[in-house]
Chains A and B, each alone.
Chain A
Amino acid sequence: MKFSRIKKYRKKHSLLSALLIRNPVLVMGLDLPFVIAGAVSLKNAAAMSIQMLMIHMVTMLAGMLTCRALPYWLRVLVNTCVSTGMMMAARALVVPLFPGVTNSLGMYLYLMAVNGMTVLLSSSIDKRAKLWPVITGALGNVAGFSLVAFLIALLREYMGSGTIWGVAVPVPLKLDGLLIPFFGFILTGFLLAGARFLNKRLLAFVMLEAARKDTRYTRIVVDSVETLEHFAPPPVKDTTKKPREEP
C-alpha cells in the first residue's frame, strides 16, 4: 500500500481531525470549567468565544515577547496581567452585545483571565518560535474551544431550557438538571468519546479509500476495520538455493 496516498487523504480530513482529536479542551483537559459550568446557552458560548479570542490571541503574542526576556515564573505573572487587561476590554465589548450574560456566566466571565489554555500555553512558547505558527496555533486553540463550547451549549440549552439562542422551541422533554455542572462533565466525557469513535471510523474510511485507489490490489474484500489491518504483504521472491538434483 502506498503511504503517500494515505497522507494525501489524511490531509483532507486533517482540519476535522484537529478540531476533534487535537482539541485543547477534549484532549488536554484545558478550559474545562468554562465548558462545563459556563456553556449552558448559545449566547454564553458566543460571549466566551469572543472573550477567548481576544484574551488568547493577545496573550500569546505577549508571550512571544516575554519568553525572550523573562524567566518562567515572571513570564506567567506578566502574561496573566496581560490577559486580565484583555479580559476587561473583552468584557466591555461582550456585555453590551449579550445583555444577560453577566447574570448567566457570573464569575466565569472574569475567570477567563486565568483560563488554563492561555496561562499555560503563553508561558510555554519556545524562544525560537515564529510568529505565523503561533498565530495559527492560537486560532486553532480558540476554534477548538469554541466548537466544544457551542456543541455543549446547544444541547444543554435545547434540552435544559427549551430554547435556542433565547427563542422558545418545542422540546419533547425539558430537563432542568442539564444546566447544572454535573451534566456538563458527563456531556463533555461523551463528546470526547464520540470524537474518538468518529476519528477511528474516519481513519478507517480514509485507509479504505487509499487501498481502493492502489492498483496493486485489484480484488479487495473488506468487511470491517480489522480486515484492513490484515492485508497480505507483497509476495517475497524465494532466493534460497535449491539443491541440485542428482542424475
Chain B
Amino acid sequence: MIEARPAPHIRHQENTRTVMLDAVLVLLIVYAMTYFYHGPRALVLGAWSVAVSVATDILCTLIAFKRPNIRDFSAVVTGMLLPLMMPASIPYSVVAAAAVVAVAVAKHPFGGVGHNVFNPAATGFCFAAICFGSALFEYPEPLPADKLPVFLGDAQVLLGVSPAFTLELGGVPKFGLVDMALGSFPGPMGTTNILVVLACLLYLVFRNTVRWEMPVAFFATVSLFAYCFPRADVSRLESVALELMSGMLLFGGVFLLGDPVTTPKRDLSKVAFGVASGVVVMLFRRFGNLEEGMPFAVLLMNATVWGFDMLGEHVYSVIRRRRSEVFKDQKVQKKA
C-alpha cells in the first residue's frame, strides 16, 4: 500500500517537544537551588507563573479558533523562566502581568510557537521592569534565618541591591568572587546560581538544544569588553569575573540568547550574532539607565536576526560557489 505523507521527509530525533522538555528539566534543577536559597515561595512563584502562561496560551489559541496543544511545553518554559529573572519577594500580580504580556503580546500575534520574533520571557521581564521598576530591582538576602513566607502580607522583608547595581554606579561589590560563584548574594532568583547555570549550559549543548558557537562567542565578547573597559576599580581579570557573575548576563546568555526560535540558524550567523549581542549587552550595561539591560538588549538583537541570517546565507553561497569553481577546475585539469 502506498502511503503519501507531506514534506519534510527527513526524520530527526529532535522536535519541539524534546527541545522544550530539555529546557524544563534544566530549569527544574535551577528551581531546586532557588528553593534551597529562598524557600517554598520560589516554587510557588514558578508554579503560579506557569499556570498563568499556560492559561493565557490556551485562551489565545481558542480565540484564534485553533485546538490548544497541551503537549507543547513552550508556555511552560516561558512561565518557568520569568520568576527566575525576578526577586523572590516579587508580588504574584507582577509575575502574572509579565506572563500574560509574554504570551499574548510576544508570541501569539506573530504566529505562535516557533514563529515568534521576540523572546517571550525577555518581553515579559522588560514590561514588568518598566511598570514596576523598584519592585523588580530590590532583592532579599539568600539563605535568611527565616525563609520567606509564601504569602508576604504585612511581613517585613529586608531587601538589598545586587552587585549589578553597585557596578553600574562604578563601585566594587562587597561580595567575594567565591561567594558570587556559589550564589550567596542578593540578585534575581535563578541568575545567582552561577555554577548551576553553567552546568545547565553544558547539558543543553551536549543535548544539541543549544549550539555551542553562540554562547562561546557571546561570553568571549563580554569578557573581552570587561577586560578592556572595566567599570569598577579592580584588576582586569576581576572585572571580567564580576561582569560575568553579576546580574542576568550568564542566565540570559544561556536561556534567553540560547532560544533556538529567536536566534540565527547558520553556525557562522550564530557566531556573528553572539559577538554583536555581547557588544550590545555591554553597551546597555554601561550607558543604559536600568541596572539590568540584558533582556532589553536581547529584544533588540532578536529584531536583527534576519540580518545575520542573510549575512550567513550570503557568505555560504560565496563559499559554495568558490568550491564548485575549484571542483570544475580540478575536473578540467584531470581531463587534460
**Does a CB–CB distance below 8 Å link A and B in the complex?**
yes
**Residue on A nearest B91 in the bound complex, by CB:** A173
Judge whether B97 is part of the interface by a CB distance below 8 angstroms: yes
11 pairs, CB–CB < 8 Å, chain A vs chain B: A173-B93, A175-B132, A176-B131, A176-B132, A177-B127, A177-B130, A177-B131, A180-B130, A186-B105, A190-B109, A193-B109
What secondary structure prevails in chain B residues at the interface with A? helix
Given known contacts A175-B131, A178-B131, A180-B130, A189 and B109 CB-to-CB distance under 8 angstroms: yes
Find chain A residues with CB under 8 A from B93 CB: 173
**Residue on B nearest A193 in the bound complex, by CB:** B109
**Chain A contacts to B: CB under 8 angstroms:** 173, 175-178, 180, 182, 186, 189-190, 193
Counting chain A CB atoms within 10 Å of each CB, which of B93, B97, B130 scores highest? B130
Complex CA gap A189/B105 in Å reads: 10
**Residue on B nearest A187 in the bound complex, by CB:** B105
Contact in complex: B105, A175 (CB < 8 Å): no
Contact in complex: B97, A173 (CB < 8 Å): yes
Which interface class (under 10, 10 to 19, 20 to 34, 35 or more) fits B?
under 10
Find chain A residues with CB under 8 A from B127 CB: 177
Complex CA gap A180/B129 in Å reads: 13
**Residue on A nearest B128 in the bound complex, by CB:** A177
Complex CA gap A193/B109 in Å reads: 9
**Residue on B nearest A160 in the bound complex, by CB:** B131
**Residue on B nearest A178 in the bound complex, by CB:** B131
CB within 8 Å of A: which B102-134 residues: 105, 109, 127, 130-132
**Residue on B nearest A189 in the bound complex, by CB:** B109
Complex CA gap A190/B63 in Å reads: 13
Those 5 A-B pairs whose CB atoms lie nearest each other, nearest first: A177-B131, A177-B130, A175-B131, A173-B93, A176-B131
Find chain A residues with CB under 8 A from B130 CB: 176-177, 180, 182
**Residue on B nearest A225 in the bound complex, by CB:** B65
Expressed in whole angstroms, the minimum distance between the Cβ of B50 and any Cβ of chain A is 20
Contact digits for B238-267, partner A, Cβ 8 Å, 1 yes 0 no: 000000000000000000000000000000
Find chain B residues with CB under 8 A from A182 CB: 130
**Residue on B nearest A180 in the bound complex, by CB:** B130
Complex CA gap A177/B136 in Å reads: 14
Find chain B residues with CB under 8 A from A173 CB: 93, 97
Complex CA gap A13/B302 in Å reads: 42
Contact digits for B78-115, partner A, Cβ 8 Å, 1 yes 0 no: 00000000000000010001000000010001000000
Contact in complex: B109, A175 (CB < 8 Å): no
Find chain B residues with CB under 8 A from A176 CB: 130-132
**Residue on A nearest B106 in the bound complex, by CB:** A186
**Residue on A nearest B104 in the bound complex, by CB:** A190
- Identify 7 new A-B residue pairs, CB closer than 8 A, beyond the known A173-B97, A176-B131: A173-B93, A175-B97, A176-B130, A176-B132, A177-B127, A177-B131, A180-B130
Complex CA gap A176/B134 in Å reads: 12
Find chain A residues with CB under 8 A from B131 CB: 175-178
Expressed in whole angstroms, the minimum distance between the Cβ of B119 and any Cβ of chain A is 16
Counting chain B CB atoms within 10 Å of each CB, which of A178, A182, A186 scores highest? A186
Find chain B residues with CB under 8 A from A177 CB: 127, 130-131
Find chain B residues with CB under 8 A from A189 CB: 109
Find chain A residues with CB under 8 A from B97 CB: 173, 175
Complex CA gap A175/B101 in Å reads: 12
Expressed in whole angstroms, the minimum distance between the Cβ of B83 and any Cβ of chain A is 17
CB within 8 Å of A: which B137-182 residues: none
**Residue on B nearest A186 in the bound complex, by CB:** B105
Complex CA gap A182/B118 in Å reads: 15
Find chain B residues with CB under 8 A from A193 CB: 109
Find chain A residues with CB under 8 A from B132 CB: 175-176
Expressed in whole angstroms, the minimum distance between the Cβ of B241 and any Cβ of chain A is 34
Find chain A residues with CB under 8 A from B105 CB: 186
Expressed in whole angstroms, the minimum distance between the Cβ of B54 and any Cβ of chain A is 20
Complex CA gap A111/B296 in Å reads: 30
Expressed in whole angstroms, the minimum distance between the Cβ of A164 and any Cβ of chain B is 19
**Residue on A nearest B64 in the bound complex, by CB:** A197
**Residue on B nearest A182 in the bound complex, by CB:** B130
Find chain B residues with CB under 8 A from A180 CB: 130
Find chain A residues with CB under 8 A from B109 CB: 189-190, 193
Expressed in whole angstroms, the minimum distance between the Cβ of B25 and any Cβ of chain A is 33
Complex CA gap A178/B130 in Å reads: 9
Complex CA gap A61/B131 in Å reads: 44
Complex CA gap A183/B130 in Å reads: 11
Complex CA gap A176/B132 in Å reads: 7
Expressed in whole angstroms, the minimum distance between the Cβ of A168 and any Cβ of chain B is 19
Find chain B residues with CB under 8 A from A186 CB: 105
Complex CA gap A165/B26 in Å reads: 49
Complex CA gap A46/B304 in Å reads: 39
Expressed in whole angstroms, the minimum distance between the Cβ of A25 and any Cβ of chain B is 19
Complex CA gap A186/B109 in Å reads: 10
Expressed in whole angstroms, the minimum distance between the Cβ of A156 and any Cβ of chain B is 12
Complex CA gap A53/B130 in Å reads: 34
Complex CA gap A177/B97 in Å reads: 12
Counting chain A CB atoms within 10 Å of each CB, which of B105, B109, B131, B132 scores highest? B131
**Residue on A nearest B101 in the bound complex, by CB:** A186
Find chain B residues with CB under 8 A from A190 CB: 109
